[in-house]
């Protein structure tokens, strides 16, 4: 796991939040070193990895380019860092403050509400050995609420913030992939979200990551993990 000098070192694996970082790195054309962290084998809990991310989660980066040595964990923080350092997909906070902070607030909304609730929903519906109907019903209600928030917001928008593609879209997109392909049966009822997703999936970097996710996780339309 030792970082390579003069490279951006990515510590990641196959999961929704890491995929958002993969897509952004590809869109930015950044040459990076990919270090696979096998969470099933507990590599994320080792002392070596926890020196990179004390929380023991993926993704994380160590940016060793241009004489730097910057370590960042949490996907939202990584997306913001890459947006700020590249000057792309995050409007400038000085010249475009409204667009900048609208992007940040939707990124934070995703990280604090959208992704955690969807993660709990998917875990309780597909992975726990003993399912509890009351818990499943409650989580479905919560997921429907955040989906309604996003669906209503997108009613007159192509992108979630700043009227352009931003890091907030990168974050949201990778969770929508999983929901579209089997995790949320009534997904297509949210017509604005469906339109939004279908627009994003035409972008080459996004389409490339969909192909990776489908090849790793799905057999037809059914999750295999």
The residue ranges of every structural domain in the chain are 8-86, 97-218
| 98 SS3 class | helix
Q: What is the pTM of this model?
A: 0.91
CATH topology of domain 97-218: Glutathione S-transferase Yfyf (Class Pi); Chain A, domain 2 (1.20.1050)
Whole-number pLDDT of residue 222: 42
Residue 90 CB neighbours (<10 A): 25
Using a 10 angstrom Cβ sphere, with 0-12 exposed, 13-18 middle and 19 or more buried, the burial of residue 135 is middle
Query: Torsions phi, psi of 55, nearest 5?
Result: -80, -10
Using a 10 angstrom Cβ sphere, with 0-12 exposed, 13-18 middle and 19 or more buried, the burial of residue 68 is exposed
Whole-number pLDDT of residue 224: 36
With a pLDDT cut of 70, the percent of the chain lying above it is 90
Task: Quote the CATH superfamily of domain 8-86.
Answer: Glutaredoxin (3.40.30.10)
- The tens digit of pLDDT for each residue in 88-136 reads 999 999 999 999 999 999 999 999 999 988 888 777 766 666 777 777 7
Higher pLDDT, 172 or 121: 172
Instruction: Please compute the mean of the pLDDT values over residues 77-97 and round it to a whole number.
Output: 98
Q: How far apart are the first and last CA of the chain?
A: 26
How far is the C-alpha of 191 from the C-alpha of 225, rounded, in Å?
A: 28
Q: List the helix and strand counts (H, then E) for the chain.
A: 9, 6
């Amino acid at each position: 796991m030792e970082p390579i000098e003069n490279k951006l070192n990515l510590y990641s694996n196959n999961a929704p939040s890491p995929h958002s970082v993969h897509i952004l790195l590809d869109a930015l054309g950044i040459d990076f070193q990919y270090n696979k962290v096998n969470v099933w084998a507990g590599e994320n809990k080792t002392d070596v990895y926890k020196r990179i991310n004390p929380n023991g989660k993926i993704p994380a980066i160590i940016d060793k380019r241009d004489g730097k040595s910057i370590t960042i964990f949490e996907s939202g923080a990584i997306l913001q860092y890459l947006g700020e350092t590249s000057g792309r997909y995050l409007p400038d906070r000085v010249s475009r403050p409204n667009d900048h902070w609208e992007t940040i607030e939707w990124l934070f909304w995703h990280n604090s509400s959208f992704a955690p609730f969807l993660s709990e929903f998917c875990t309780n519906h597909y992975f726990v050995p003993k399912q509890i109907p009351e818990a499943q019903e409650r989580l479905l209600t919560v997921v429907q609420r955040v989906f309604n928030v996003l669906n209503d917001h997108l009613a007159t928008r192509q992108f979630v913030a700043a009227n352009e593609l931003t890091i907030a879209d990168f974050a949201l997109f990778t969770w929508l992939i999983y929901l579209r392909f089997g995790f949320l049966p009534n997904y297509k009822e949210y017509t604005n979200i469906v339109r939004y997703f279908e627009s994003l999936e035409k972008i080459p970097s996004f389409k490339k990551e969909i192909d990776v996710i489908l090849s790793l996780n799905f057999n037809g339309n059914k999750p295999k993990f």
